[in-house]
Amino acid sequence: DTAVSQTPKYLVTQMGNDKSIKCEQNLGHDTMYWYKQDSKKFLKIMFSYNNKELIINETVPNRFSPKSPDKAHLNLHINSLELGDSAVYFCASSQDRAYGYTFGSGTRLTVV
**Closest CB 19 distance from other proteins, rounded Å:** 20
Q: Which residues bind other proteins (CB under 8 A)?
A: 4, 31, 40-43, 45, 48, 50, 55-56, 90, 92, 94, 96-106
**Closest CB 15 distance from other proteins, rounded Å:** 25
Give buried/exposed letters for 27-50 (b at 16+ CB in 10 A, else e).
eebebbbbbbeeeeeeeeebbbbb
Angle, CA 54 vertex, CA 40 and CA 59 arms, to 5° = 40
**Closest CB 34 distance from other proteins, rounded Å:** 13
Q: For residues 23, 17, 47 and 84, what is the CA-based torsion angle, rounded to 10 degrees?
A: 120
Give the nearer residue to other proteins in terms of CB position, either 14 or 97.
97
Give the nearer residue to other proteins in terms of CB position, either 16 or 100.
100
Give the nearer residue to other proteins in terms of CB position, either 40 or 83.
40
Measured distance CA(83)–CA(79) in Å, rounded: 12
